[in-house]
Amino acid sequence: MAKYVIQGGQKLSGRVRISGAKNSALKLLTASLMGNDLSIIRGVPRIKDIFTMAQVLEVLGAQVEFTGHNDLLVNPTFLNNYVAPYELVSRMRASILVMGPLLAKLGIARVAMPGGCNIGSRQIELHLKGLSMMGASIEQGHGYIEARAKGRLKGTVIPLDFPSVGATENLLMAACLAEGETVIENAAREPEVGDLAHFLGKMGAQIEGIGTSTLLIQGVENLHGAEHRVIPDRIEAGTFMIAAATTGGNITLENVVSRFSELVIGKLRDMGVDVLEDGSRLHVSRNEPLEAVDISTLPYPGFPTDLQALMMVLLSLAEGVSIVTENVFDNRFIFVNELNRMGARIRVEGHHAMVYGGATLSGAPVKATDLRAGAALVVAGLVAEGETEVHDIEHIERGYENLDQKLRDLGADIEKVSGESQF
C-alpha cells in the first residue's frame, strides 16, 4: 500500500503541462479495435486505467505498445477473442466500452459486469437497450453480459433517456459499422465524445452532428487505422486551477482548451480567482479572499461532476455558505466525512451539500474513496495546517499522470511513500 504524505502551507507557483484526457484516451483505445490496421494515438497519459485498458485489448488479441513516452500503437489485426474478463473489467467501468466495437466487428461480445469508482449507480441499461434496438440479442448471467448480432447491426433511431457519455460512445462506435443510418438523440455532448467521433472520422466513419445532442451516423463496411492526438484533460486542468486557488498560488497551465472549462472558469472568477486565458495556456492566481458560490453538477456543458469534490475543498475556505447540488451520481458525497475530519464544515442532505465556509483545515490521515475525491483530499492537504496522509492512492493514480511530481514541481511538499493503510 502506498500513500501521499503532504506538509501543508505551500503556495503553488510555476508551470504545469496538462496531460491527455483519460476519459478520451480510454475510448480511443477501444475504437482502435474497429480498424483493419494500425492506429497511433498520441498524448496518451501513462496511468493505471490506460494500462488496464491496454491489457483488455491484448486479451482480445490486439497488439498494444507504448512508443516514445505518451504515444500508443494499437494493432487489431489479430483480434480473435470476444471475452473481456472479470479480473480486468472489474477494475475499471470504461471496459464496458469494448462491447460496441466487438459486437460491430465480430458479431459477438461477452463482457464482465463493470467495476470502477464507488460513486453510485451508473446503470448500463442505456447501452444494452440501444444495442438491442440495433438488432443485438442480449443475455445477462453469472456476472457477464453477452451480446450477439446476426450479420451486421442495423441502423435505427435511438433516443437516450439520459445523455449518458458511456452509452453515447458505445452506440456511436457500434453504429459506425452498422448497416444503414443510425440517429442517436439526446446524445452526450462532452468534449471526449467529440474527440472519439473525430478519431472515428479519421478511421473512415461518416458522422454528422459532432458536438450536438443529435448524432447521425451512416454505417460503413470497414474502418482503417488512423493517427490522432488526445485532447487535453479538462478535469486535470480543473484540478490544478482549483489547487492554485486553494493555496493562494500563481500558476500557468499549458496544453489546455479553455472552452472545455468555461463554466468552471466562470465559477472560479465569481469566487475571486483570477483566470487569464492565453491561447493554449491559462494563468491562475488568487490574492483576495474567496466568496461563496452555489454549484449544480450537470452533463456537459454544465458543471462537471468530476470537479465537485475539489470545489467543495475550495468552498470550505470561502466566506459564506455555499450549496452544492449533485445531479449526476447518487453516491458522490461519500468523501465528505473525510474532508470534515480535516476541519471542513459540510452537511449533506440527499443530493445537496451545505458548505459552511471560513474553515481552517488541519492535517489528518484520510482515505481516498474514489479517484476525484482522492484528488480533492490531496488539494485539501496542500492548504491544511500540519501533515496530511492520503491513503488508498491507487484510486488517484488511476486517473492522474504523475500528480505528486507535478505538484512538487509547483512547490508543494508532497511525497509518495509505502506503508500500511490505517483504514
Q: Which amino acid is at 257?
A: V
Residue 36 labelled as part of a binding site: no
Is residue 392 a known part of a binding site?
no
23 is in an annotated binding site: yes
Q: How many residues does the chain have?
A: 423
The residues with which 285 forms a beta bridge, in sequence order, are 250, 274
Residue 20, CB-side half-sphere exposure with 13 Å CA sphere: 23
93 annotated to a ligand binding site: yes
176 catalytically annotated: no
Rounded to an integer, what distance in angstroms lies between the CA atom of residue 83 and that of residue 102?
A: 9
- Exposed/middle/buried for residue 380 (C-beta within 10 Å: 0-12, 13-18, 19+): buried
Contact yes or no for 53/95 (Cβ under 8 A): yes
Core vs surface per residue 289-314: b (16+ CB within 10 A) or e? ebebbebebbbbeebbbbbbbbbbbb
Spatial strand order in the sheet of 206-208: 157-159, 181-185, 214-218, 206-208
Residue recorded with cell 440501444 = 130
Per annotation, catalytic residue among 25, 56, 111, 117:
117
Rounded to an integer, what distance in angstroms lies between the CA atom of residue 187 and that of residue 286? 37
Q: Scan for cell 443485438, then name that residue.
A: 136
Q: Is 189 labelled a binding residue?
A: no
Annotation: binding site for phosphoenolpyruvate: 22-23
Catalytic positions, written as ranges: 117
Annotation: binding site: 22-23, 93, 306, 328
Annotation: binding site for UDP-N-acetyl-alpha-D-glucosamine: 93, 306, 328
